[in-house]
Chains A and B, each alone.
Chain A
Amino acid sequence: GENVEQHPSTLSVQEGDSAVIKCTYSDSASNYFPWYKQELGKRPQLIIDIRSNVGEKKDQRIAVTLNKTAKHFSLHITETQPEDSAVYFCAASRGNQGGKLIFGQGTELSVKP
């Protein structure tokens, strides 16, 4: 079945360093790839998304890259800050099933001051 693998499961960085989280997906028909951030005890919130017709997208300190051939996409956070500490989830969906997101297992990011 459809599957999204996410690595690493935990990531610890020093404040100011960059963080990279990687995901691979199995369904070649997937064409929408959002990233969600979930702080402790709070709801997941969309931070950035990318569609299959684009290879890279940036929003201030956050960027996402997509390699459709290899079926993987990555989240890049630069100049990390303590408030970036959270669990990050990647997800993928296909075609006209935009809401049927298949999520990765999550990455717990810890940014140490």
Chain B
Amino acid sequence: ETGVTQTPRHLVMGMTNKKSLKCEQHLGHNAMYWYKQSAKKPLELMFVYNFKEQTENNSVPSRFSPECPNSSHLFLHLHTLQPEDSALYLCASSQDTGRGSPLHFGNGTRLTVT
């Protein structure tokens, strides 16, 4: 049990599909994040939510749409993706976005866009 749970673990979708990734944290944290991990590249921050409010959108294309209904849940809605969007999508949480709050990651969703 990691404290941060992501579903599904694996997802294959066509470019015209609509799907959603789900993340839930049981750590009582107030901040949640989406990171993208592609092969041979650093982890890329996508979105940051602090107390349910989006505080960071790191120039992410609109085909990725986050949703944070409360501090424990985070979604990433996907539509009309491209093959280059295939990657491991990691959710993380931290106590807040303040100074030096360690991130706790989920196991990720391995996304393949065909």
Residues of A within 8 A of B (CB): 4, 6, 31-32, 34, 36, 42-46, 49, 51, 89, 91, 93, 95-106
Instruction: Please list 8 pairs of residues, one from A and one from B, whose beta carbons are closer than 8 Å in the complex, sorted by A's number.
Output: A34-B102, A43-B90, A43-B107, A44-B105, A49-B100, A99-B101, A100-B45, A100-B48
Smallest CB-CB separation from A94: which chain B residue? B99
Given A43-B105, A103-B42, A103-B43, A98:B100 Cβ within 8 A: yes
CB distance from A11 to the nearest CB of B (A): 16
Say whether A96 contacts B43, CB under 8 Å: no
A residues within 8 A CB of B50? 99
Interchain CA distance A101-B100 in the complex, whole Å: 10
Say whether B99 contacts A98, CB under 8 Å: yes
Say whether A104 contacts B107, CB under 8 Å: no
A residues within 8 A CB of B41? 105
Q: Which of A6, A45, A95, A99 contacts B94 (CB 8 A)?
A: A99
Known: A46-B104, A102-B42. 9 other contacts (CB 8 A): A32-B99, A43-B4, A49-B102, A89-B42, A96-B97, A96-B98, A99-B33, A100-B56, A101-B45
Interchain CA distance A4-B2 in the complex, whole Å: 27
B residues within 8 A CB of A51? 100
B residues within 8 A CB of A97? 97
B residues within 8 A CB of A105? 40-42
CB distance from B56 to the nearest CB of A (A): 6
Interchain CA distance A40-B102 in the complex, whole Å: 21
Query: Is B106 part of the contact surface with A, judged by Cβ < 8 Å?
Result: yes
Interchain CA distance A95-B100 in the complex, whole Å: 8
A residues within 8 A CB of B4? 43
A residues within 8 A CB of B102? 34, 46, 49
B residues within 8 A CB of A46? 102-104
Query: Is B31 part of the contact surface with A, judged by Cβ < 8 Å?
Result: yes
Given A43-B90, A43-B107, A46-B103, A99:B97 Cβ within 8 A: yes
A residues within 8 A CB of B66? none
